[in-house]
């Protein structure tokens, strides 16, 4: 199972939200590059970098942080948050992103997201599938749609999506364990999708439970920043 730590950025700093609520923001480090290097030092090869300012502003904001991390580490960076135009995508890729994640854009402007899939391919364009009660949520989780996750994924898989990050908002940042039941059902229904679990990881045990369930990858952050998972445990898991 691929371990993908998350670094969420507000004002150039490493933060975490609880259930996507900007009012529940906690700053963990003033220097995201320092955090990224610490992950690299324990054998992590991939990073999920989220521009929370961008998600709110509806366009890329923290591309300088992306550029810094991409320039000074060898981490493969998946970048997301507020990417809404071809120009946003150009900036993200030129700043060092290996992949980008689009969620709200795939719902609100599907023609743009489908164009990105055609131009860059399903290996570089990841579908963000953020859910609340199995319905797709958009705009930094501020808005819940009537689109169910199953229809959403089936439609986009036909259009060339190969990877999706699924965050169950009820679990995100709560350190209460991941949405295992949902992920098991998704793996059964979409065996060919590279399903990246996100949200709720609270301990090393949760990582093992996700691995046993057959998840190919997992994104996590708060458990590390709160000291629930140590860097040495990550290193041991990786090896």
Distance separating alpha carbons of residues 147 and 84, to the nearest angstrom: 20
Question: CA of 175: how far to CAs of 16, 83, 142, 221, 227, in Å?
Answer: 12, 28, 21, 10, 11
Among candidate residues 4, 81, 73, the one with its CA nearest the CA of residue 34? 73
Number of other CB atoms surrounding residue 109 within 10 Å: 14
Distance separating alpha carbons of residues 206 and 175, to the nearest angstrom: 10
Q: From the candidates 8, 53, 168, 206, which is the catalytic residue?
A: 8
8 Å CB contact between 146 and 25: no
8 Å CB contact between 123 and 163: yes
205 among known catalytic residues: no
Q: At a CB cut-off of 8 Å and minimum separation 6, what does 53 contact?
A: 9, 10, 11, 61, 62, 81, 82
Q: From the candidates 78, 88, 130, 172, which is the catalytic residue?
A: 130
130 among known catalytic residues: yes
Active site residues: 8, 130
């Amino acid at each position: 199972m691929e371990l993908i730590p998350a670094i969420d950025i507000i004002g150039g700093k490493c933060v975490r939200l609880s259930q996507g609520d900007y009012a529940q923001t906690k700053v963990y480090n003033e220097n995201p590059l320092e955090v990224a290097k610490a992950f690299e030092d324990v054998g992590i090869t991939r990073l999920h970098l989220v521009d929370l300012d961008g998600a709110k502003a509806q366009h890329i904001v923290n591309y300088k942080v992306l550029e810094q991390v991409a320039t000074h580490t060898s981490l493969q960076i998946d970048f997301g948050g507020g990417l809404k135009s071809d120009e946003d995508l150009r900036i993200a890729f030129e700043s060092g992103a290996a992949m980008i994640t689009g969620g709200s854009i795939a719902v609100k402007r599907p023609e743009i997201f489908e164009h990105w899939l055609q131009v860059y391919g399903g290996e570089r364009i990841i579908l963000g599938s953020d859910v609340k009660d199995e319905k797709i949520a958009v705009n930094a989780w501020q808005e819940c749609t009537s689109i169910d996750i199953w229809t959403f994924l089936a439609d986009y898989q036909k259009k060339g999506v190969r990877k999706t990050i699924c965050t169950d908002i009820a679990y995100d940042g709560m350190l209460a364990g991941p949405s295992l039941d949902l992920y098991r059902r998704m793996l059964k229904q979409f065996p060919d999708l590279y399903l990246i679990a996100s949200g709720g990881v609270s301990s090393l045990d949760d990582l093992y439970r996700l691995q046993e369930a057959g998840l190919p990858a997992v994104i996590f952050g708060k458990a590390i920043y709160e000291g629930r998972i140590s860097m040495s445990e990550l290193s041991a898991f990786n090896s």
